[in-house]
Amino acid sequence: MPGPDKPDRRSLPPLLGEAERQDILQIHRAILSRERVEPQEGMEPAPWWVWVVSVLVIFSMGFYLGRYSGTFSTEAHELYQKAAVGGGEAAAEPPPDGSLVYAGICLPCHQAGGTGVEGKYPPLAGSEWVAKDSAIGIRILLHGLQGPIQVKGKTFNNEMPGLGNQLSDAEIAAVLTYVRSNFGNKAPAVDTKQVAAIRQATPGQGPWTAQALSGVPK
Amino acid sequence: MLFIRLWMFFAGVLATLFLGWAALIGVPGVQLASVPAQPGLRPYTYEEMHGREIYMREGCVYCHTQQTRPQGFGTDQKRMWGRPSVPGDYVYDRPHLLGTSRTGPDLLNIGARQPSRDWHLAHLYNPRAVVPESIMPRFPWLFEEKTGTGPQDVPLAPGSHIVATREALDLYAYLLALNRTYPVRRAEP
Amino acid sequence: MKAPPLEQSPELVSLRRVLDESAAVPVLLFFATGVLWLLAGTVFGLLTSLKFDMPDWLAAIPALTFGRLRPAHLNAVNYGWASLAGAGCLLWLTSRLCMTPVRLRGGLIASVILWNLGVLYGTGAVLLGYGGSVEWLEYPLPAAAMIGAAFLLFAASILQTFRMRSVQHLYVSLWYTVACVVWFPFLYVAANLPIYSGVVHGAVNWWYGHNALAVWFTPIGLALAYYFIPKVIGRPIYSYYLSLLGFWSFALFYNWNGIHHLVGGPVPNWLQTISIIASVLMVIPVMAVAVNHHLTTVGHFRHLRSSPTLRFTVFGAMCYTAVSFQGSLESLRGMQEVVHFTHYTVGHAHLGVYAFLTMILFGAMYYITPRVARWNWPHPGLIKLHFWLTAGGISIYVIAMCTGGILQGYAMNESVRPFAQVIDLTRPWLIARSASGILITGGHLVFAYLFAQMLIHAGPRRETAPWEEAAA
């Protein structure tokens, strides 16, 4: 049994001499002698405003619950959809922004300035293919392109996925217009109706080749 | 003084934890158990599951989310990351890989947005080769160097000796399977 | 105001000595292995941060890729450092507050071994590519089982010590201690069950991720702050009623918070809403705790100069208030729209687990270690250096990540801005974060050196506290 002058041996490193044990005991006592009282609970009342703030927070969250609980269903986005319908019923859907479609879809390969990647992805900036008739660009976007192609005097051999399933006619027209009027290109804008017409005229079309595109009717 | 009885304290402690569990897991768990897979969603193939394991092994989830937010909450829609995702899009996800960080872009529809195998392999080998500003890690151990490439090998570029391993190809298969662009069918009210 | 007298009656000193001796071996084991994990976790964290600045550095080593280092860091510091050091502190605290020796000490030795093996196994598995990719739950099942079993042994010791108490009144620190050892095993087991899929798994993930803080780390921090602030100052905690309000509102609201990590995501709308509401309701317990601590400390701030324990603890307690109010605000949809998915969340997490919890753990260890190692701290100057390196480092960290995160969030919501530009925008803030990481690493090396000196009784033999000499 550890007594007043006997420290618990098991709590000390083994092989300590009696003098060392006593020394450690003395240090320990000195440490413990400069302690203050063990904490107690004070019985002061809580400041009044703590209760006021608590009640206010609970009430305001009650309103929040009423406002944002939606229906008790698995629906994840109903609040936003309601907001969108309520605000936008009268206004027609705004036309898609070609620069956003470019940034979201085209940019990883063709890069921010339309520069492409040397030896991998052909440039759009100053490309003769962009400047050609819009019927060609629309076909590439709708169905994709594969095989060797000459752009600005260099040959590229890669494949571009068709985007017809992913993008609407308006989006294809918008992004094509964006490419044709940016990066130093100065080709006329593309009409949504033309995209729709070509989509209808080429059902089931697979990826184009450069050769096949050169025979495309204007 | 604290309570009338000590067992009340323990009962309160257990009750608060259980209440939270019931509200956040129990009730939604029952509710979501009845959500069927979206009709356009299919289970992952063997290759895609293997690719998913590579995705988990390399910790892709720490920088890429797989959840798209609705118009009116962030700009996921304008960034062309795909329509807002719904519970039925994740029925086959085990474990979930929703993610909480977008150091890189959302990947829920990367398979639709960027289906090019060539691009993905180049990007995995060295992201900065195709996205100069990228701070994504390189994954050279998903590729191997071969002196002679056979017809079944997939080199990084024509004539390159750097060839994709099965792991890289399966990871690509998984990325390609990340495609929730099918239209959502809502539950009947 | 006159400082209250010291308590020096020989009976009381003897009793305290017996309690300390009962706690010595297990507490020192928990502390020492905790400090080792702190060092390992710090290295992982610093490497993770540097990977943002230099993605091509050490890029060919699979085990050191960002996606493995990051979970290794999170798990090593949480299940290694904070849990082990926190468990050691709670053991000593329970013995003190129950005025009875630590019980089931053999189980504690087994616990510390099993715990460390679990963390070693789990962290190694993550680095070698066997991580589960579910944040906070990356450890493979065997590692989680080892940690769970170790926790049960630890909890058994706490509860047995509590049962054998020789006091009538249960001080508020004990409420938090006893509650968290009851809560955590349920939480850990429920979250680790391999039965979830889809968005339900997402909900389980964040129910757990947030509750690891709610039912384990925060109760540790609060129990220690509730003890050491009045203990060092030597006056009672201000109000028992505030303690009660704080504890029960904390227990009721905190574990509904988790789903605010999925706001805007594919989980039911009502679920997101109730988690946001619970997060805002956290204002109540946080206010109660902050007011209670502040009204206890007010008029005694001079102790901050002389007591490293109080300095670290008050810093941590203030950061608890800050991180909680930040969390309430952050959960709101308007704020989530901007900062969700950004580095802001990382800044918030470090304000919680580091600036609040870890700083309080340092403070508690400065008090407890001399009593269980039975040696006085050498080098008071190094203790000061430790404080300023870590306090300065984490302040820079949190400011850099939160500012950078807000800018990142606004840029990401500007749809015309290409994603690559968003990355460029965050670069300087990430470099500032790495710089803060170097300061924090320095602080940890100083602390580990001091702690090692205590273990081997190095430095000058003193009987008085070093900081009183320094202040004189």
Kindly give, in sequence order, each residue whose CB lies less than 8 Å from that of residue C297, ignoring residues fewer than 6 positions away.
C229, C233, C314
Residue C120 inside a domain? The answer is yes
pTM score of the predicted model:
0.93
CB contact under 8 A, B94 and C252: no
Q: What is the pLDDT of residue B155?
A: 86
Q: Among residues B34, B44, B58, which one has the least CA distance to residue B92?
A: B44
Q: Which residue from B70, B116, B118 is facing A77, i.e. has the nearest CB?
A: B70
Interface membership of B65 toward C (CB under 8 Å):
yes
Asked if the bond preceding C268 is cis, omega within 30° of 0, the reply is no
- Chain B contacts of C135, Cβ < 8 Å? 61-62, 100
What is the rounded CA–CA span in Å between residue C149 and residue C116?
A: 12
Cross-strand pairs, A41:
C237
CA distance C277 to chain B (A): 13
Quote the pLDDT of residue C453: 94
For B15-64, write each residue's pLDDT tens digit.
Answer: 999 999 999 999 999 999 989 999 999 999 999 999 999 999 999 999 99
A158: left (phi over 0), alpha (psi -120 to 50) or beta: beta
Tokens matching residue A176:
């094509």
How many whole angstroms separate alpha carbon A169 and alpha carbon A155?
A: 30
Tens of pLDDT, residues A143-152? 999 888 889 8
Average pLDDT over residues B68-90: 91
Whole-number pLDDT of residue C130: 94
Question: What is chain A's mean pLDDT, rounded?
Answer: 84
Residues of C in contact with A63 (CB under 8 A): none
* DSSP annotation string for A38-56: PP-B-BPPPPHHHHHHHHH
Q: How confident is the model at residue B157 (pLDDT cuts 50, 70, 90)?
A: confident
Res A82: pLDDT: 55
Residues of B in contact with A109 (CB under 8 A): 114, 116, 119, 130
What confidence score (pLDDT) does residue A1 get?
Answer: 44
Total domain count, chain A: 1
Which pairing describes strands B162-164 and B143-145: parallel, antiparallel, or unpaired?
A: antiparallel
Contact, B39 vs B88, CB < 8 A? no
pLDDT recorded at residue C418 = 86
pLDDT bracket for residue B1 (50, 70, 90): very low
How does residue A217 score in pLDDT terms, banded at 50, 70 and 90? low
How would DSSP label each residue in B4-50? Answer: S-HHHHHHHHHHHHHHHHIIIIIHHHHHHHTPPPPTT-----HHHHH
Give the 3-state secondary structure of residue B145: strand
R_g over Cα of chain B: 22
Cβ contacts (< 8 Å) between C248 and chain B: which residues? 12
What is the rounded distance in angstroms from the CA atom of residue C220 to the CA atom of residue C225? 9
What pLDDT is recorded for position C470?
Answer: 41
The amino acid at residue A171 is E
More confident residue, B103 or A85: B103
* DSSP-derived pairing of the beta strands A144-151 and A154-161: antiparallel
Nearest to C251 among B13, B79, B99 (CB): B13
Across the interface, of C133, C333, C342, the residue whose CB is closest to B95 is C133
Q: Which of C85, C95, C34, C176 is nearest to C360 (CA)?
A: C85
Per-residue pLDDT reduced to its tens digit, A25-53: 899 999 998 888 899 999 899 999 999 99
C-alpha distance from C229 to closest chain A C-alpha (Å): 9
Q: Are residues B74 and C412 in contact, defined by beta-carbon separation less than 8 angstroms?
A: yes
- Residue C26 domain flag: yes
* Structural domain spans, chain B: 44-177
Does some domain include residue C32? yes
Q: Tens place of pLDDT for every residue, chain C, 472 residues?
A: 456 667 778 888 899 999 999 999 999 999 999 999 999 999 999 999 999 999 999 999 999 999 999 999 999 999 999 999 999 999 999 999 999 999 999 999 999 999 999 999 999 999 999 999 999 999 999 999 999 999 999 999 999 999 999 998 899 999 999 999 999 999 999 999 999 999 999 999 999 999 999 999 999 999 999 999 999 998 999 999 999 999 999 999 999 999 999 999 999 999 999 999 999 999 999 999 999 999 999 988 888 888 999 999 999 999 999 999 999 999 999 999 999 999 999 999 999 999 999 999 999 999 999 999 999 999 889 999 999 999 999 999 999 999 999 999 999 998 888 888 999 999 999 999 999 999 999 999 999 999 999 999 988 888 877 765 443 3
In CATH terms, is domain B44-177 a member of 1.10.760.10?
Answer: yes
Decide if C440 is inside a domain. Answer: no
* Planar angle of CA C134, C140, C145, nearest 5 degrees: 115
Enclosing domain of residue C123: 14-168
C-facing residues of B in 66-105 (CB < 8 A) are 67, 69-70, 73-75, 78-79, 84-87, 89-105
Report the number of distinct structural domains present in chain C: 1
H helical segments located in C54-140: 66-75, 83-98, 105-127
Mean pLDDT of A168-188: 91
Q: Phi-psi category of A100—alpha, beta or left, where left has phi over 0 and alpha has psi -120 to 50? A: alpha
CA dist C237 → A49, C246, C366 (Å): 19, 13, 21
- Write down which chains contact chain A via at least 3 CB pairs under 8 A: B, C
Residue A46: its chain C contacts at CB < 8 A?
239, 241-242, 245, 288, 291
The answer to whether residues C55 and B137 touch, using CB atoms and an 8 Å cutoff, is yes
**In this complex, is the C-beta atom of C381 within 8 Å of any C-beta atom belonging to chain A?**
no
Higher-pLDDT residue of A179, C463? A179
From C410, which residue of chain B is nearest by alpha-carbon distance? B74
- DSSP label at residue A152: T
How far, in whole angstroms, is CA C186 from its chain's centroid? 20
Average pLDDT, stretch A97-118?
A: 87
Would you state the pLDDT for residue C471?
A: 39
For tokens 């992805």, the residue is A121
**How high is the pLDDT of residue A22?**
87
The shortest C-alpha distance from A26 to chain B (Å) reads: 38
Mention every residue, 6+ apart, whose C-beta is less than 8 A from residue B166: B50
Can you say whether residue A144 is alpha, beta or left, with left for phi > 0 and alpha for psi between -120 and 50 degrees? left
A17 versus B33: the higher-pLDDT residue is B33
Residue B159 has pLDDT above 90, yes or no: no
- Assess whether pLDDT exceeds 50 at residue A91: no
- Kindly report the CA angle at C22 between C31 and B7, in degrees rounded to 5? 90
Model confidence at A210, in pLDDT bands (50, 70, 90)?
confident
CATH number at residue A136: 1.10.760.10
Nearest to C277 among A2, A61, A77 (CB): A61
Domain of residue A137 covers 118-214
- The secondary structure of residue B138, as a DSSP letter, is P
User: DSSP characters for C200-240?
Assistant: HHHHHHHHHHHHHIIIIIHHHHHHHHHHHHHHHHTS-BSBH
Residue type, C76: A
Q: What is the pLDDT of residue C104?
A: 95
Q: What is the pLDDT of residue A5?
A: 62
Percent of chain B with pLDDT over 90: 68
What is residue C472's predicted lDDT score, i.e. its pLDDT? 31
For CA atoms A21, A22, A23, A29, the dihedral sign is positive
